[in-house]
Each structure stands twice: as C-alpha cells, then as structure tokens.
Structure 1
C-alpha cells in the first residue's frame, strides 16, 4: 500500500556526531551509555529511525557483543536502525579496494543483524589534504574516478557482488550520487546501476552532493528525472547556491530543505510519479544540523501526500517494505 505523510519512514543521519569528540572520546570504543546519550538526542529531535554510519561508529568492526550493545542503545533511545552508511571506502580504491570490499561485506552482515533495511555505499574516497584545509570540504578538489573501462567494470563487478550479498540477507543496496565518480552525474549513475542489473541495487539520488559544487553543475530537475526511477533510498539536503556570471564565482552553503536552491516539493512529486517508496534520510552540515534535520522532517511531512491514495508510478528497482 502506498505510504502517506504520517507513516512515511524518515530517518536522521548522524553528521553532527563525530568519530572523535572534542574531548577525545572515540565513538567506536565508547561505552553503550555514551551511544545511548547521543541517540537519545536524535529521538528527542522527533525521529524514530536512525542511519548509522562509519563516520560515527563502524558497525562492521564491532565485536558481536559490542554490536548487541549498540542495538540495545538504539532501542533504549526509542529508535530503530533504518540503514547503515559505508563512508569513503570505495571498492575501487587503487590501494584499499579489496580491503574496502571486505569491509562492505561485513557491514552488510552487521546491518542485517541490527535490523536495517538498506545499506548505502558509494565510490567516494577519503578527503584530500586540499579538502581537509577548507571550511567546506566540497570547495576543494577530491578524488576523480579514472576514465577507464577496466576500472569501471571492476566497480560494476564488486558492487554487483555486494548487491547479491545484500539480497541474500534481506537488504537493499543503495548507491549514493557523488561528484567525480562513476556516480557523479545522472547519466553515469544510471548507466552504473543498470549495468549492475540487480533489483536489489538502486540509487540514492543525493542531489545535494552535486549542486553544492563551486563549478557549473547539472540541472537538479534533470538529475531527479533521470535517477529517481532507480531510487530505493534518498539522502535529502539542500544548499543555497549563487552564481556570478561576470566573475565565474560560485557560492554554495548548507540550507534547510524548504529554502535552498533545490525545490524539494517538486522533487518529491517527481519521486512519487517514479514509484519511489523508499526511506528518506535527513542530512545537514554545519551548526546544529540535527535541529535543521528535524525541521526538514516536519517540512517533508507537510509536502508528502496526506493519504496513500495517489497515482504511483513504476519504480525500476525493488522498493523496501517498511516495518
């Protein structure tokens, strides 16, 4: 049955929860009580689901006992694990690709154990020194996937392997759009997911990752039109963008969903017409991003259909069934 504004699954990302705190506490090694304190903030912000990510705690690298403690902390906070996000571990990294592939396989098993429905991955690689030196990392130049059919074929092969594993444990694999990779434009991303050719593998059309770049960018509507039919999970975030034609200067700063450059009211309507019924995940960089994400959730529930009685298009990938 189609989802409505009331029951549409919306989760919070944990971008404001670092791997190492300002006081030096390492989240990976923190006691379960510390995890619960962080997750309780997510619940108090109004979310009932959370995306766990490598940028906070690497679930793949926890012992079974510690993973059980994390699951207990999630439940104690009144949340459920919606998804697990593999961060900056490209399976075609020239040095660590095989290691990252093994990490992704362990993440899939851990995600299934924690009750997730989706594992999100991409082809982004660790931030460069240039990116780390910037106020906003996306204003620096990151890794660029090579224009090489052999490397691209390796991406297809390894992501297909992960998609089969995900399906075997009842999960979907979602591939996040990210600049300068084989997921860095709508056409390249669609080509990649269709070459993989599994119903369990879809796209995460994180359009914000592309429109924030300080250079000419693809039209956000065209990105959505091309990728949303293949979407099975969706990171939503927005940016204020300004372009000065005379100087070529571009500025992009994080903004709430309803007041940024991308019109999410139009995109959500487009998503529904494409058959999308996946999880929405609210992300926001800078400041009190959790509170902005909470406001974004409220905005999404205002623009989503009030009932499930609406025309629903045909998705080109499997859509999850949400508990």
Structure 2
C-alpha cells in the first residue's frame, strides 16, 4: 500500500504531480521488490484523474513492472452526515478507475476524515474519531448504509470487481459481530469483508480477542489489509498500550489466520500495510513473511486442493 502523503510539503497535491514524479514514489515500491501496488486514495485518487492522466498513471505502473490488483478508498464513508452523497459519487468514479487499471477489488470503509485531535496525535487511533450511530437506535441511517453498499456492490460487479468492506472502529463494520451483521444484511456475493483487525487491536481500549474476531469474520473475507501491532493489557490497572509491529512479531498470529482463511476458501489479494518508521521496508518484510507462509506444506496442500 502506498502510504506516502497525498499533500506534499509545499502544499501541492499528488494529484497534480507529473507522471515522472509519480514514478519516483512508485519506483520506491518496485525497488522494494513489489510487483503489485494498492494506490490508496490517501495518496492518489485515481478515480478523479482525467482519462489522459489515468493513462499516464497506467503507463508509469506498467513501465515499473507493477500491476494494481486492488484499490482502497480512504475516509469516504458512504453515509458521512455532511458528505455522504459526494463520497458516493467519488466511490463510483473510483470503481470505474479501478476496473480500468485492471484491479480485482475495490475497498470501501465507513471511517470518516480525521478530527483535529486525531490530526495532532502521534498515533491518530489513540484519540476518538467520528462514531456511526447505533443501528438499532438509528435504523434509517443503517438501512441507507446497506442500500448504498448494495449500490456500490452492483456497480463493482458490473465492472468485474468485488467490493470489500474495511473493518474500522466505531463504524458499522467496527466489531466482528457488527461486520458479520452488516455484510449479511447486504447479502450480495460480490460484497465481502476486509478483516483489517489491526485497526481494532491497536486501540487503547478493551476489544474482543483477535482469535474470536477472526473466527467470525474470516468466512466472509474477500480482501485483506495485513498489519500487526504489539498490544499490552495490564489487568491490574486497566492500562492498555499498543504500537505497530511487523506481522510475525505482533499480537496476532498471521500463520494461524492465513491458514484458517485459506481453508475457508479465501483467494483474494493481500495488501501489506504498516504505520511508522520505514513503512515500505516493513511492508516488504511482511510480504516475504506471507509468501513464506503460503509456501508451507500446510497451506500449499489446501491451495492445491482448490
């Protein structure tokens, strides 16, 4: 995942950069040994590029030997109280652009723009952000969310894509039970879950154990943002502390989760994501770790069996 900022130090936007400047960022990805990239909207909104500029982007990607199996939207909640309709238009354009660049998956979330306190924090997840209404207390907004995701799912299917819903705290897919309820209510084979459990395990508050969450959501998985965190819980004081970590050293066992997901039929793309430090190098390390797991006898046998 491209995690470079979308706004440059001089205040200009990556949207307005030249193809040569895009190539510098994407070249870092290729130089790190990747042959695929997820140009998340927080870096570049490919759905807002003109046809000519989208072709420039595709040319840069091809010249670097990369391809784009998935495109992730960022902070474009379809039911944002102020910008929901505007975000829907952006998401529809994103789906069209994702199809144009050959993606298989378009990733959507209900998380909204960072609040000022989150923008000031070292780690934005340590400060509370926007919260979706309780589905049972505001059934009308919940029904709107289901309807809009169905609309996006139909559009994705028409373009040969699947739609994935990114799990994120305080949203309709912010817990395992809530995510399963939501995707079940949407009830479309083209719509599944992105079990980005790192988004939840990093919270400085009590959360469900990752093993219990994984058991609930992995049967609905069609895409995956893979990242991990250290997590310490002091039962004496109630203090909780977290920090980003490479996949093999964090609190969640990707060896177990990946094997379970493959056994359940998951065959979708996995995007390596990491916050802090040299996130690209850690993502490359995570890629190699995941490839190693996919090469184990256990998982190889399941893949060979279909």
Range class of TM-score, shorter chain: over 0.9
1:283 aligns with 2:270: no
Q: Once the two structures are superposed, what CA deviation does each residue of 1:93-147 show, in whole Å capped at 9, x if it has no partner?
A: 1111011111111110011111111100010000111111110000000111001
Aligned equivalents of 1:95, 1:20: Cα separation in 2: 23
Question: Which structure features the higher share of helix residues?
Answer: 2
Aligned equivalents of 2:239, 2:15: Cα separation in 1: 40
- Asked which structure has the greater RCO (Cα within 8 Å, sep 6+), the reply is 1
Deviation of the 1:309 alpha carbon: 5.1
Aligned equivalents of 2:5, 2:162: Cα separation in 1: 26
1:272 aligns with 2:262: yes
- Structure 2 gaps of 5+ residues are none
Question: Which structure features the higher share of strand residues?
Answer: 1
User: For residue 228 of structure 1, what is the aligned residue in structure 2?
Assistant: 218
The one of 230, 246, 250 equivalent to 1:240 is 230
Query: Over the residues paired in the alignment, what is the CA RMSD in angstroms?
Result: 1.7
Aligned equivalents of 1:111, 1:301: Cα separation in 2: 25
Q: Once the two structures are superposed, what CA deviation does each residue of 1:140-193 show, in whole Å capped at 9, x if it has no partner?
A: 001110011111111100000000000001011000000000000111101111
User: For residue 292 of structure 1, what is the aligned residue in structure 2?
Assistant: 282
Aligned equivalents of 1:71, 1:158: Cα separation in 2: 29
Aligned equivalents of 1:226, 1:131: Cα separation in 2: 29
Aligned equivalents of 1:189, 1:18: Cα separation in 2: 29
Q: Once the two structures are superposed, what CA deviation does each residue of 1:247-303 show, in whole Å capped at 9, x if it has no partner?
A: 221111000000011111111111112111111110000110000000001111111
Deviation of the 1:61 alpha carbon: 0.9
Aligned equivalents of 1:309, 1:46: Cα separation in 2: 23
User: For residue 71 of structure 2, what is the aligned residue in structure 1?
Assistant: 84
1:14 aligns with 2:2: yes
Query: For the Cα contact (< 8 Å) 1:40–1:78, is it kept in 2?
Result: no
1:50 alignment partner, SS class: coil
1:142 aligns with 2:129: yes
Aligned equivalents of 2:149, 2:253: Cα separation in 1: 31
Residue correspondence of structure 1 range 120-139 to structure 2 within 5 A: 120-139=107-126
Residue correspondence of structure 1 range 17-166 to structure 2 within 5 A: 17-147=4-134, 148-166=138-156
Aligned equivalents of 1:279, 1:214: Cα separation in 2: 29
1:184 alignment partner, SS class: coil
- TM-score w.r.t. the length of structure 1 is 0.90
